[in-house]
Structure 1
Amino acid sequence: MSPSPAERLRRICLALPESVEVEAWEQPTFRVRGKIFAMLQGSEDGLAVWFKAPSGSQEVLVEAAPYRFFRPPYLGHKGWVALRLADGVDWAEVEALVRRSFSLIAPKRLAAQLAAT
């Protein structure tokens, strides 16, 4: 039996240096030194991971694939993006996006550790 999307995301996030899982708003959030770098959100549309993206990336991702990516409420105005974790999601892409979000949120020393791996 393959792991659930929540478990797969958890494994990706908790493999990052000093990352921890904290439940907030009845959903798992993944943090580094108290700052959120990824969130799992569920809705009537299914599960999605929310993550920080570099400036300009949100528009590119949402315009290129609006059925996969969307601007999440509350954090979208800060450059965050959400990716629907539907069947057939590319988990290598999820990992790359989460790692990039971590690099944008984490202190420079921890981000450098990640870049070295």
Structure 2
Amino acid sequence: MAHPIMFDEGDPVLARVRSVALALPETEERLSHGRPWFHIVSRPAFAVYGSGTKGPEKVMHPHAVVVHVDDDERPARVQDPRFFVPSYLGPRGWLGIDVDAPDTDWVEIAELLDASWRHSAPARLLH
């Protein structure tokens, strides 16, 4: 059974995320589990648009960017109330941040996407 689509193709926040993520070298977007996932061609994903948390206080975050966070940055990011631990990917070092607020720091979002991209990138792409 296919997953339902969990995003709006005309979402201007998604358009902004796409513009940042797809500007990274050899990046492509794929649909998985009803959401846009961003990959380096033939590599694992480095970002997802939208997520949620599980447990008794399940919360959906439809306008979030989920990225892999470096182990040394994770403790500080987890303490930051803007970040959340996403279902399924959280135990693997990923965190999410909502990006639909008017005061979203898009420079920070670009840095998070770049760092996550670098985590997945093959050595030949890192310069």
TM-score (norm 2): 0.78
Map 1:39-58 → 2, pairs under 5 A: 39-41=48-50, 44-58=60-74
Distance between the aligned counterparts of 1:72 and 1:102, measured in 2?
Answer: 18
Alignment partner of 1:21: what SS? Answer: strand
Distance between the aligned counterparts of 1:45 and 1:97, measured in 2?
Answer: 17
Distance between the aligned counterparts of 2:61 and 2:20, measured in 1?
Answer: 23
Distance between the aligned counterparts of 2:110 and 2:98, measured in 1?
Answer: 14
Distance between the aligned counterparts of 1:86 and 1:109, measured in 2?
Answer: 34
Q: Which sections of structure 2, spanning at least 5 residues, go unmatched? A: 1-10, 53-59
* Bigger proportion of residues as helix: 1
Distance between the aligned counterparts of 1:31 and 1:7, measured in 2?
Answer: 16
Q: Which sections of structure 1, spanning at least 5 residues, go unmatched? A: 113-117
The yes-or-no answer on 1:62 pairing with 2:78 is: yes
Q: Residue by residue, what CA displacement relative to the aligned partner does 1:29-61 show, whole Å, maximum 9, x if unpaired?
A: 000123100000156444110001111322211
After alignment, is 41-50 or 76-85 more displaced? Answer: 41-50
Number of equivalent positions? 108
Tell me the residue number matched to 1:86: 100
Distance between the aligned counterparts of 1:20 and 1:70, measured in 2?
Answer: 25
- Check conservation: 1:58, 1:71, Cα contact below 8 A: no
1:102 shift after superposition: 0.3
How high is the sequence identity, in percent, across the aligned residues? 31
Map 1:1-117 → 2, pairs under 5 A: 4-32=12-40, 33-41=42-50, 44-63=60-79, 65-66=80-81, 68-87=82-101, 88-112=103-127
Instruction: Give the root-mean-square deviation of aligned CA atoms.
Output: 1.6
Alignment partner of 2:100: what SS? Answer: coil
